[in-house]
Amino acid sequence: MDLKDFHVQVKKVRLRLLKNAPYFGMALIKLARVRESSIQDTAWTDGRSIVFSEEFIKEITPEQCNFVLLHELYHIILLHVFRLKDRDPFFWNLAADLKVNRILEIDSDYYEKIGIPLDLKKEFGIFELPDIYNVEDFSVEEIYSLLENNPNISKFLRDDKDAYYQDIKKFKGTLKEWQIKEGLRGLESYKGHSPIGQYMFEEVSALLSTKVPWYKLVKRFLSSAISDDTSFASPLRTTLYRKMILPGEYLEECRLADVVVAVDTSGSISKADLADFFGHINKMIKDFEMTGVIIQWSHEVYPPIPIKEYKNIKISGRGGTSPDRAQYYIRNNYSNAKLVIYLTDGDFEKIKAEKNSIWVITPNGTTENIINGIVSQMKRI
């Protein structure tokens, strides 16, 4: 293939995926940047880019291009670059390749059907090893452990280590794992329209279910808002705060204005939960120099008070739980709120979260009733 044919082929794959397996088509658009490089190599990903060596492009067929493109895309979707951590890169690459190649093998008939034939020749990629079967049912971490701890396989692989190409490269930019995860969350609605991907979806769901402290979510929210990367654009990109200090790669100190903190004071909230809520409010004020209002809500919404006067608050409510009333009140009275933080136990009917909200759930509460929202399970302070 020449470079022109390569770009045409990538476009074909993208369009056919969008039509027939939109989850993967949107992933190829939102999560991956496909480009060529003059570096003498084959193809690789750093978790953000899918890179083909120009020399490698000249040597491959369209079917091989399809296979490599999807192979690297699967690495990105499954966060293999970020999950490497301090593991042996050789065994990690091998474990990750076994995983994605097996899934591609399972889905190959469908890809053929939609006009994306894959070259599954064994010499073109590693698909199996002695004593390791059904890798589609294992996480990459489990496969890695099998490879590293089996002395026969370990020796067999290490003897041929130099011959095995490692296509997972360390990302050197500013992209963070949580940004990819937020991108993946944005693809959730496409799952039902993609006839393939069962094994991918199961692992992605497990990756996205990790509990994250609320304060990290706030930092992520702030970080997304000032990002120049349109692939991960926040719905609230403009003027999120009046002052922001960025001492380095991380958002360690910032002032967050125009915030609504909505505290659930219904009967299902215990005194210990309320103490946690206000302990977290105190932490937010200190960490983010936050300004705005606190509202209490149960079966109705109670008058707001300035956030910094939270120590003078008198608890109202203790009745039923109606988060929709809190949402309605905030929408009508604080439409310019930059961020809404709900503190609740999640004990209510399913509700659709606002785009500019974070839902902080009590340690023993339920997170399943928040639809399309950013949710964190609270830890005791």
Report pLDDT digits (tens) over 163-203. Answer: 455 667 665 666 778 788 888 988 988 988 889 888 888 88
Q: Which two tokens stand for residue 85?
A: 């951590």
Distance CA 323, CA 353 (A): 10
Q: Indicate the residue type of 175.
A: L
pTM above 0.75, yes or no: no
Over residues 210-244, the pLDDT tens digits come to 555 565 666 555 544 433 333 222 222 222 222 22
The CATH-assigned architecture of domain 214-377 is 3-Layer(aba) Sandwich (3.40)
Over residues 273-316, the pLDDT tens digits come to 888 888 878 877 777 777 899 999 999 999 999 988 888 888 88
Residues of the chain with CATH 3.40.50.410: 214-377
Task: Kindly tell me if the per-residue pLDDT of 250 is higher than 80.
Answer: no
What is the pLDDT confidence band of residue 156, given thresholds at 50, 70 and 90?
A: low
Q: Looking at per-residue confidence, does 353 or 154 come out higher?
A: 353
Q: Indicate the residue type of 30.
A: K
- Which element (helix H / strand E) includes 342? strand 339-344
Q: Looking at per-residue confidence, does 118 or 86 come out higher?
A: 118
Quote the DSSP letter at residue 229: -
| Alpha helix stretches (DSSP H) within 114-270 | 140-149, 151-159, 177-185, 198-208, 214-226
